[in-house]
Structure 1
Amino acid sequence: MEDSHRWLGFPARDGDIVISTRSKHGTTWTQMICALLAFQTPELPAPLSELSPWLDWTIAPADEVFARLEAQRHRRIIKTHTPLDGIPIRPETRYIVVARHPLDAAVSLYHQGDNIIRERVAELTGEPVPEARSGPRPELRDWLAGWTRSHHDPREAPDMLPGVMAHLADAWARRDAPNLLLVHYADLAADLDGEMRRIAAWLDIEVDESRWPELVKAATFGEMKAKAAHTAPDPAGLFRSRDAFFRNGTSGSGAALLGDEALAAYTARVAQMAPKELLDWLHRP
């Protein structure tokens, strides 16, 4: 459902904000934060997926997505799951890459699989419904252990471990670029107010001090879940439940699921995929 070639024909605008993440790493959360900063009101004028469209998403025709973005007069906020090495980089565009502990993101990905209506995806893409697996779906613990051992090509399965680490390692290598900001999911969870202020300062957006409490509240997990009809990224009706998209927003569940041996194997595996400084930052509490 993704085609990064669309970026080659996209007419960029100075000041665009591009949010580049892997799935379940805090994409929607960061889109919401940027939209709240852009509009400076907790009552956004349209659903989040309309204000901040997913440019690569092939279910929405490219000309429609481009036209919607062209008509926007506010600071444009564009979602992509493509790594930075797969899209044009412009000095006048601001890029935000959001990271999350890979095991926590994988747990969320597993649960999201239960929430997607495969028949609806097939209807919209014209692809056949995937054949049912023989036997029941693996339990989460077993699935997660298998996810850590995966050797998929990042271009073919970007949400498996090699794809996640390739996305983050590429962004880490660019971290000194003045138009790139790295955001950590754990920091958003621990200090939402502080992280929102950091993002606002980096985007050169001034917010009146009196507005901060209501903007921060609107970006909390509870508030976004309460307004899932407008905040969940589901303009085409692919989810069984928009509320279920916001499952619990916590961290640490992934590592807790793996036993000592499997966790040690994961640690050794990612050490071959990324520099130590990135791994220390990525895996910190």
Structure 2
Amino acid sequence: MTPHRYRSHDEDSRRWLSFPMRDDDIVISTRSKHGTTWTQMICALLVFQTPDLPAPLPELSPWLDWTITPVDEVHAKLAAQDHRRFIKTHTPLDGLPIHPAARYIVVARHPLDAAVSLYHQGSNLIRERIAELTGVPVPASKKNRLSLHDWVVNWTRAENGPREDLDMLPGVMAHLGDAWARREEPNLLLVHYADLSADLEGEMRRIAAYLDIDVPESRWPALVKAASFAEMKANAEHRAPDPKGLMRSKVAFFRRGTSGAAAELLASEELAAYEARVADLIPEDLSAWLHRP
């Protein structure tokens, strides 16, 4: 079956169709601000087994769907890599040609926390630079931004279909719902941002086991430290996903890294409306897993 096509002003999942996969490839499939860079860093540390990475993280783990970099250029860079590859995508699994021997990691986060991070990331982007590279004018909605509260409320009420805007609530639920339905498949691992926050070493060991990567015990302390939020932020120049200079600040990309505060933004009736929408979009067991402390 041909994968669904997902497109935005700077993404096109069709770029995967011509990409030659390797049996040991690792594909990191996430929604924006769900722990993408964190998971890329963990994979980099497990593959190279040292905090001293041979290149900036965005070079080691390129975003294949991103149309700002020509597809032939991305494919050539990945073809030249002789280490085990770990590739970033914001495309849901139903938009990817699934290679049976490759490994797929889907990362989830409490949706309201991700929405708050997405809002702040929007403030950190240089929209004019993006418009220059994509040829798409800056939308009026990006020029005249709502307050954080109002933006998050609108985000919870959005009716955009997943093909229209994957980063709004229906798109997030579709991405995670599809992965949840596949969770028993042997080449898929679901990771929760809250688990990374609560037990980073335990989650790194779980990911290593899933990827069949053996790490000597003596190396674990340095690898776990390098994957911590503080270390990632301290090395933002080489960790933030900004190869084209689209961010005002790479440090600001790593804003807080905490969870749980977003729900406090909403009044009780707004939170109840959000919960009702989620119940319409995803099964109860996924919602319980997604929203747990």
Deviations 1:73-129 (A, max 9, x none): 111000000000001011111000000000000000000110000111011112223
TM-score (norm 1): 0.98
SS at match of 2:17: helix
Mapping of residues 18-57 of structure 1, within 5 Å? 18-57=27-66
TM-score (norm 2): 0.95
In the other structure, the counterpart of 2:91 is 82
For residues 273 and 229 of structure 1, the distance between their equivalents in structure 2, rounded to whole angstroms, comes to 38
Q: How many positions carry a matched residue from both structures? A: 284
Equivalent in 209, 216, 234 of residue 226 of structure 1: 234
Shift of 1:146: 1.2
The whole-number CA distance in structure 1 between the counterparts of 2:111 and 2:142 is 25
Secondary structure of 1:215 counterpart: helix
Partner residue of 2:112 out of 89, 103, 108: 103
Q: What does 1:1-285 correspond to in 2, within 5 Å?
A: 1-131=10-140, 136-285=144-293
What is the deviation of 1:225? 0.5
Distance in 1 (CA, whole Å) between partners of 2:125 and 2:79 is: 30
| Paired residue secondary structure (2:281) | coil
1: distance between equivalents of 2:141 and 2:86? Answer: 37
Aligned counterpart, 2:5: none
Segments of 5+ residues of structure 2 without an aligned counterpart are 1-9
Which amino acid letter does the alignment assign opposite residue 24 of structure 1?
A: K
- State the AA in 2 paired with 1:41: T
Separation (CA, whole Å) in 2 of partners of 1:168 and 1:71? 32
CA distance in 1: counterparts of 2:142 and 2:258, whole angstroms: 30
Q: Percent identity?
A: 74
Give the letter aligned to residue 164 of structure 2: E
Unaligned runs of 5+ in 1: none
2:7 aligns to what? Answer: none
Letter paired with 1:139 = S
C-alpha distance in 2 between matches for 1:267 and 1:126: 38
In the TM superposition, structure 1's runs of 4+ consecutive aligned residues that sit over 6 Å from their partners are none
Deviates more, 1:121-130 or 1:210-219: 121-130
Question: Residues 20 and 95 of structure 1 are in contact (CA less than 8 Å); yes or no, is this contact kept in structure 2?
Answer: yes
Query: Deviation digits for residues 50-83 of structure 1, max 9, x if unmatched?
Result: 0000000001111110011001011100000000
Q: Quick check: 1:55–1:78 contact (8 Å CA) kept in 2?
A: yes
Query: 1:231 Cα shift?
Result: 0.2
